[in-house]
Chain A
Amino acid sequence: MTPATDDDLHAYADGQLPEARRPAFEQAIARDPGLAAQVAEVRRQNASLRDVLDGWLAEPVPQRLLDAARPPARGAGWRRLLAPIAASAATLVIGLAGGWYARDAALERAGLPTTFPRQAALTHALYAADANRPVEIWAAEEKRLANWLTRRLGFPVHAPDLNSAGYALVGGRLVAGSERPTALFMYENAAKNRLTLQARKPPPGADDTAFRYAIEDGVGVYYWIDDNCAYALSGTLDRAQLLAIGRMVYAELAEKK
């Protein structure tokens, strides 16, 4: 067996080590606490780099860059002049669909962060599709995960048990919210369908709310505020199934208090 190389160490920490080399590397980690510590250090460093730089994504996008993203087609000049008129005409004439257009324009200007459910859906889509590293800390270290997230969010969080709905905890991570850090817990069922539960502090003065539902880019989101914490449960399940799991989460969280 070839010994673990420096390249293996980085690839493993980044979730990029080829499947074939993984068992050997994991054995090497088990034998060598120093190596395990190095992996942990690289992962910690990755997490803090993301903590720092993810915040930049939330900054408003200058109009000149949005303009540069538009096709420079013939007649671009007058089209730009007419765009606001077209947007408002669309809003007036075709209500809902026009609303989407105007809303998208507003979203573009705002940068990445938007409403909580939209952000939850985008975050879900991003990480649920990640085969290698959907989470920062795996379920095997659930206690450490909860402690870490509790420390970073500034209030107690834990992953509710959704096994009775057929969803096992995959793990979790910290994600950059538009205003405050957000805890993400990911679950997976036997069919490899993934759900995420995201939790963060609501804006000051926000009251408890009932379950609300939104569909964002094909991802269903139930979101609510309970006891000074905002939750969003996201997945591609149908609405009724998602709601049933949402109720379970709600009950479980209420029970633990």
Chain B
Amino acid sequence: MAAAAIARGLDAAFARIAGTSAMSVDPPLPHPDLVAAIPRLRRYARVLTGDATRADDLVQETLARGWEKRRLWAAGTDLRAWLFTIMHNVFVNQRATNMRDAQNVSLDGDGESGTAWQLPVRAPQQAHVELVEVLRELSRLPREQREVLVLAAVEEMRYEEIAAVLAIPVGTVMSRLSRARDKLRRAVNEPRTDAPAPLKIVR
């Protein structure tokens, strides 16, 4: 039994060294690739939920769903895009459930605690102020625009991929992207002085 576990570990290690997946039959999802995708899934989950804890719950649910639906993943296709699609669906379904549950409707209408919008501890120290500004204004974009912007600008996904992940037409991706960029540019260039942002800086 221990030998089997060792063998599995070695498989994974060798797969990593060779840059391929040795685990082709069962389980069909390449574990190293799955692990490697986690930081990106967490990041996107934070952008979606605006809440650090809910983001990790969402990632956990996404990974569980991924294993459940593993037969639907076509080996060799982009695992990341597939996981992002699952995450989007899980998120949309959870929101629909929460909307029906009056107790979960918070004052800002979207249940965002803002705990996710923390400047990374390891963010470049130079231009700190500018980065804080960008993060705050990103958090203020409508979620539909925020998700498209992050997928295009940060994840560097192709527009067609984004359309598939979000289940919207490419034309909608483009119009949201254009509005998001425009709004963010204006906001960063002309800082507003009203309501405090849901942003905490970790130092």
User: Measuring CB to CB, which residues of chain A are less than 8 angstroms from any residue of chain B?
Assistant: 6-7, 10-11, 14, 16, 41-42, 45-46, 48-59, 61-62, 64-66, 68-73, 78-79, 82-83, 85-87, 89-90, 93-94, 97-98, 100-101, 104, 108, 111-113, 130, 133, 151-152, 154, 174, 176-181, 217-218
Alpha-carbon separation in the docked complex, A58 to B202 (Å):
14
Contacts of B27 in A (CB 8 A): 71, 73
Contact for B181 among A10, A51, A94, CB less than 8 A: A10
Contact for B63 among A10, A69, A104, CB less than 8 A: A69
Contacts of B29 in A (CB 8 A): 71
Interface residue B43 (Cβ < 8 Å from any Cβ of A): yes
Binary contact track B115-156/A, C-beta < 8 Å → 1, others 0: 000011111111100110011001000000000011011101
Q: Please determine whether B56 and A48 come into contact, CB atoms closer than 8 angstroms.
A: no
**How many B residues touch A, CB cutoff 8 Å?**
62
With contacts defined as CB atoms under 8 Å apart, how many contacts are there between chain A and chain B in the complex? 178
Q: Please determine whether B60 and A68 come into contact, CB atoms closer than 8 angstroms.
A: yes
Interface residue B1 (Cβ < 8 Å from any Cβ of A): yes
Alpha-carbon separation in the docked complex, A14 to B40 (Å):
19
Contact for B13 among A54, A89, A101, CB less than 8 A: A101
Alpha-carbon separation in the docked complex, A56 to B121 (Å):
8
Contacts of A152 in B (CB 8 A): 124, 126-127
Q: How far is the CB of A73 from chain B (nearest CB, A)?
A: 7
Q: Please determine whether B9 and A86 come into contact, CB atoms closer than 8 angstroms.
A: yes
Contacts of A82 in B (CB 8 A): 1-2, 5
Alpha-carbon separation in the docked complex, A136 to B60 (Å):
33
The segment from B31-39, B86-94, B100-108, B190-198 that touches chain A is: B31-39
Interface residue B158 (Cβ < 8 Å from any Cβ of A): yes
- The chain A residue with its CB closest to the CB of B138 is A49
Q: How far is the CB of A182 from chain B (nearest CB, A)?
A: 10
User: Measuring CB to CB, which residues of chain B are less than 8 angstroms from any residue of chain A?
Assistant: 1-2, 5-6, 9-10, 12-14, 16-19, 26-27, 29, 31-32, 34-35, 38-40, 42-43, 46-47, 56, 59-60, 63-64, 67, 119-127, 130-131, 134-135, 138, 149-150, 152-154, 156, 158-159, 174, 177-178, 181, 184-185, 188
- The chain B residue with its CB closest to the CB of A61 is B38
Q: How far is the CB of A8 from chain B (nearest CB, A)?
A: 10
Q: Please determine whether A56 and B138 come into contact, CB atoms closer than 8 angstroms.
A: no
Using known A-B contacts A68-B60, A97-B13, A133-B156, determine if residue A51 contacts B31 with beta carbons closer than 8 Å. no
Q: Please determine whether B126 and A69 come into contact, CB atoms closer than 8 angstroms.
A: no
| Residue from the set A49, A50, A87, A154 with the largest chain B CB neighbour count within 10 Å | A49
Q: Please determine whether A101 and B181 come into contact, CB atoms closer than 8 angstroms.
A: no
27 contacts between A and B (CB under 8 A): A7-B174, A7-B178, A14-B152, A14-B156, A14-B159, A48-B131, A49-B153, A52-B138, A55-B120, A55-B123, A56-B39, A58-B120, A59-B42, A59-B120, A65-B59, A65-B60, A68-B63, A69-B34, A69-B35, A71-B27, A71-B29, A71-B31, A89-B2, A90-B6, A97-B10, A112-B39, A218-B18
| Residue from the set A14, A65, A72, A174 with the largest chain B CB neighbour count within 10 Å | A65
Contacts of B178 in A (CB 8 A): 6-7, 10
Contact for B124 among A53, A56, A59, A180, CB less than 8 A: A180
Q: Please determine whether A78 and B40 come into contact, CB atoms closer than 8 angstroms.
A: no
| Residue from the set B121, B149, B153 with the largest chain A CB neighbour count within 10 Å | B153
Contacts of A48 in B (CB 8 A): 127, 130-131, 134
Contacts of B2 in A (CB 8 A): 82, 85-86, 89
